[in-house]
Amino acid sequence: MKQMFQNAKEASRALMLLTDEQRNDVLLRVAERAEASVEKLLAANALDLQKLEPSDPLYDRLLLTPERIQGIAADLRNVAKLPSPLGIISKERTLANGLYLRRISVPFGVIGVIFEARPNVCFDVFSLCFKSGNACILKGSRSAQHSNEAIVALIHGVLREADPPQPSLGRESSPFKGELEGVFLLPPTHEATAELLGAVGYVDLCIPRGGRKLIDFVRDNARVPVIETGAGVVHAYFDKDGDLEKGQRIIANAKMRRVSVCNALDCLLVHRDRVGDIPALLAPMKGRVEIVEDEAAMGTEWMDYKLSLKIVDNLDEALAHIARYGSGHSECIITENEAAAARFQQMVDAACVYVNAPTSFTDGAQFGLGAEIGISTQKLGPRGPMALEEMTTYKWLINGNGQVRK
Amino acid sequence: MKQMFQNAKEASRALMLLTDEQRNDVLLRVAERAEASVEKLLAANALDLQKLEPSDPLYDRLLLTPERIQGIAADLRNVAKLPSPLGIISKERTLANGLYLRRISVPFGVIGVIFEARPNVCFDVFSLCFKSGNACILKGSRSAQHSNEAIVALIHGVLREADPPQPSLGRESSPFKGELEGVFLLPPTHEATAELLGAVGYVDLCIPRGGRKLIDFVRDNARVPVIETGAGVVHAYFDKDGDLEKGQRIIANAKMRRVSVCNALDCLLVHRDRVGDIPALLAPMKGRVEIVEDEAAMGTEWMDYKLSLKIVDNLDEALAHIARYGSGHSECIITENEAAAARFQQMVDAACVYVNAPTSFTDGAQFGLGAEIGISTQKLGPRGPMALEEMTTYKWLINGNGQVRK
């Protein structure tokens, strides 16, 4: 496995030399190859599915269909169309001594992604990493291993046919021999996860995509930098000055649009003065969403048609509740009072803080950022939707002419 | 200790409510108090020093003097003069559906800093954290504990007299009772370090400031996000097309300006065609710097008047050497060849990549960023000099009017 990490590190250096056109060309060819390989992909997928009952919820998550593969190809083409996040100069200055400084976006290098089920994640992660100049190491679940292997083999086939990166300097030979590599698949074992999390010097960033248990395990055991994504204990606070009709729409949309996503509403806080409006507030969800007023259930991420409900005395109690139980993902206030809205947005410590709009909007594409790899709930590194720009770091370039420091 | 972490978390929320003027006022008062408390600080410092021989290098690092305290006060006043890094909008857009999005800089919350010796670090870290709206938890070394306690007590004295933050919302009472707190000092024990590194949910970021051993320990044991700072294995590559006179100045400055700092040069790589120029290149350091041509010593951070030397066949061999032995801090090429310079800056994966200028410039103040807390050598989060802006994260504010997602 050490050899794979070493290969990934070297691949990441070769990937730096590609142009955006070369990257897009590869993505378009992967899309084409996916469409042309439906039978092969479905055959591999069938090997994974045969171990499951079709009634198992995992079955649907693992399932590939011709339509889903069409969707995957469309996603790949969309990523190819996005502007490159690389080479963007975020700071530029010439110092008094003549030194010329630039801060420029560059790939992280090697990104490890640990994920559960859904084999389409292989395509997603590869496309976002490749477009942003990163090599990726994937660790999927055992239940999807045949599918994941088939997908990675398909991508490898395209990469093998692609032109290798050309050294930008004519006078010396490139150190990058052999074929272009961009994606590596680990075996679906705990040992592989442990090796990945300990690969200091080879893996620049690790992103767990999955449930709370996986995220906690990765954070607690990684020696490489980690971005925690996804886990969302999401609140909406209906303020003393909330508009009832907006509240009805926002709460229903945040809760019911898709209950299984991380931006779905988990807990509704209502100002004591508006207790009488609760039946009307909940009316759009009647018969579909179970209301839970159990204090012990506060802080639960439901992923289901359930909603915690709590009455609070004032805005500050709502803030304190969110500080205690929120996961720093998305939080929302419904109010017509501008001072209350401003204070909520100032004091809530979360990636996305909404006024009079549902948390369902927390999504890279909705924010106009393009495709996303996840929603970061931590404060170090990118926070909130992680699209292409958030998959880059930067370096400082300093150009002088023999200046020295006093 | 759990209680201290809880207090720090709550303090960080109160700190969010301060204005920049209030923050600057506190910093100026701490500067004044430090100047007025020279005797008290020196008395505490003497308790630490009495355990050491004056010939011990640690003695000088621990030592406070009236002049050093003047310097500390000047630094505090400088930080107060810097523009606030908070509330800066880095993205702003109105979506087609009318949602108004802003990405705005905010404090991390609670920053833990583990440091060795030098008690002035208490003032430095406090001032940068306080100015950027963060609460800080300090863990110093046992050898400086009396000094650190006196400094933190001095800061606490100023904070106790400061006006508590005013709730921005008149209609409800502030949840932030009691005095303003901004800095917490842990006992100088391993147990305290372990607690700090495991304080998930309370500590948003941990920064080790010290040698390689401390940094490795923190990275390997932390469950909270970490920024690795400081360790610098720094290279200069004298290219086939390097200018000899520039090379002499740059190499001597990078190596000898201060040998004990992280941006000091550790290894000189010379193109084979320029072997004959090596005596001239090294001439300015003659008799002061020991040249080490031992392959086994490659990758050593000398912190001393020593310099590794290696002949390479070409630029790509230099790049491969730096990729293998560099620590991602600062790297430099000396060349008049623009293609070689461009390739070096493209391919070297480090925080700061120089052309024809010495790595001694890697410093927040030199870059025009203001005071710095350290040089980050990792790629997740801030990279390179960490000044005030790099001590903030951001959040997304989304303001709507009842829009819902399809």
Of A99, A225, A340, the CB nearest to B361: A99
Mean pLDDT of B76-83: 96
Percent of chain B whose pLDDT exceeds 70: 96
* A172 contacts B13? CB cut-off 8 A: no
Find the angle CA(A290)-CA(A376)-CA(A317) to the nearest 5 degrees. 50
Class of domain A234-361: alpha beta
- pLDDT tens track for B187-224: 999 999 999 999 999 999 999 988 888 899 999 999 99
Helix (H, G, I), strand (E, B), or coil: what is residue B390?
helix
In chain B, residues with a C-beta closer than 8 Å to the C-beta of A341 are 399
Residue with tokens 């940094």: B215
Whether residues A353 and B397 touch (CB distance < 8 A) is answered with yes
**What does the pLDDT read at residue B332?**
98
Kindly identify which residue of chain B lies nearest to residue A335, measuring between CA atoms: B401
> Do A356 and B109 count as a contact with CB atoms less than 8 A apart?
no
Nearest to B109 by CA among A332, A378, A232: A378
Average pLDDT, chain B: 93
Compute the average pLDDT of residues A42-63. Answer: 93
CATH class of domain segment(s) B235-361: alpha beta
pTM, full prediction: 0.93
Q: Which residue has the tokens 């960033």?
A: A205
Distance between A345 CA and the closest CA of chain B, angstroms: 7
User: What pLDDT does residue A166 have?
Assistant: 54
Q: What percent of chain A has pLDDT over 90?
A: 85
Residue B245 to residue A101, Cβ atoms within 8 A? no
Q: Please name every residue paired with B91 in a beta bridge, in sequence order, or none if there are none.
A: B103
CA-wise closest residue to A190 among A136, A142, A138: A142
Half-sphere exposure of A146 (CA within 13 A, CB side): 16
ipTM score for this prediction: 0.93
pLDDT of A174 strictly over 60: no
Model confidence at B386: pLDDT above 60: yes
For residues A122 and A144, give the distance between their C-alpha atoms in angstroms, rounded to a whole number.
Answer: 10
Q: Is the pLDDT of residue A167 over 80?
A: no
Distance of CA A256 to the CA centre of its chain: 22
Write out the two tokens for B245: 């006179």
Residue A168 confidence (pLDDT): 45
Query: In chain B, what residues touch A99 (CB-CB under 8 Å)?
Result: 357, 361
Taking the C-alpha atoms of residue A157 and residue A151, their distance in angstroms, rounded to an integer, is 10
Please name the fold of domain A2-229+383-399.
Aldehyde Dehydrogenase; Chain A, domain 1 (3.40.605)
pLDDT at B168 over 60: no
Show residues of chain B in contact with A405, CB under 8 Å.
Answer: 253, 257, 358, 360-361, 366
**Of B259, B218, B229, residue with least CA distance to B364:** B229
Query: Which of A315, A342, A395 shows the shortest C-beta gap to B353?
Result: A395
**pLDDT score, position A395:** 98
> CB distance A316–B342 less than 8 Å?
no
- Do the beta carbons of residue A141 and residue A149 sit within 8 Å? no
Yes or no, beta carbons of A250 and B404 under 8 Å apart? yes
The third-level CATH classification (topology) of the domain covering B2-229+382-399 is Aldehyde Dehydrogenase; Chain A, domain 1 (3.40.605)
Chain B partners of A200 at a C-beta cutoff of 8 Å? 219
Which pLDDT score, from 0 to 100, does residue B1 have?
Answer: 86
| SS3 assignment, position B307 | strand
DSSP state of B164: P
Q: Please, what sign has the CA dihedral across residues B27, B29, B32, B33?
A: negative
Question: What pLDDT is recorded for position B180?
Answer: 77
Identify the bridge partners of residue A184 per DSSP, sorted by sequence position. A137
B344-355: pLDDT as tens digits: 999 999 999 999
Interchain proximity A402–B109, CB inside 8 Å: no
Across the range B115-136, mean pLDDT stands at 93
Q: Calculate mean pLDDT across residues B157-180.
A: 60
> Is residue B171 pLDDT above 80, yes or no?
no
| Lowest mean pLDDT, pick from A242-251, B10-19, B235-244, B246-255 | B10-19
CB A107 within 8 A of CB A132: yes
At residue A169, the pLDDT reads: 43
- A212-226, A279-293, A381-395, B324-338: least confident range: A212-226
The answer, yes or no, to whether residue A170 has pLDDT greater than 50, is no
Please say if the pLDDT value at position A276 is more than 60.
yes
Residues 6+ apart with CB under 8 A from A22: A162, A163, A165
Confirm if A349 and A325 have CB atoms less than 8 A apart. Answer: no
Q: Which chain B residue lies closest to A355 (C-alpha atoms)?
A: B399
Domain residue ranges in chain B? 2-229+382-399, 235-361
**Percentage of chain A modeled with pLDDT above 70:** 96
Stretch B307-323: mean pLDDT: 96
Instruction: Report the gap between the CA of B350 and the closest CA in chain A (Å).
Output: 7
Cβ partners under 8 Å of residue A344, min gap 6: A237, A315, A318, A319, A331, A333, A335, A353, A355
pLDDT value at residue A377: 93
Identify whether the C-beta of residue B296 lies closer than 8 Å to the C-beta of residue B308: no
Question: Does position B169 have pLDDT exceeding 50, yes or no?
Answer: no
Mean pLDDT over A195-212 rounds to 93
Helix axes A315-325, A338-347, angle to 10 degrees: 20
* pLDDT bracket for residue A367 (50, 70, 90): very high
Nearest to B319 by CA among B362, B377, B271: B271
pLDDT tens-place string over residues A301-359: 999 999 999 999 999 999 999 999 999 999 999 999 999 999 999 999 999 999 999 99
The CA distance from B381 to B204, in Å, is 12
Question: pLDDT at position A211, please?
Answer: 82
Q: What is the CA radius of gyration of chain B?
A: 24
pLDDT of B306 > 80? The answer is yes
> Beta B374-376 vs B352-355: how paired, if at all?
unpaired
What mean pLDDT comes out for the span B144-168? Answer: 85
pLDDT, residue A165, reads: 60
* Distance of residue B307 Cα from the nearest chain A Cα, in angstroms: 18
Residue of B nearest to A385 (CA): B396
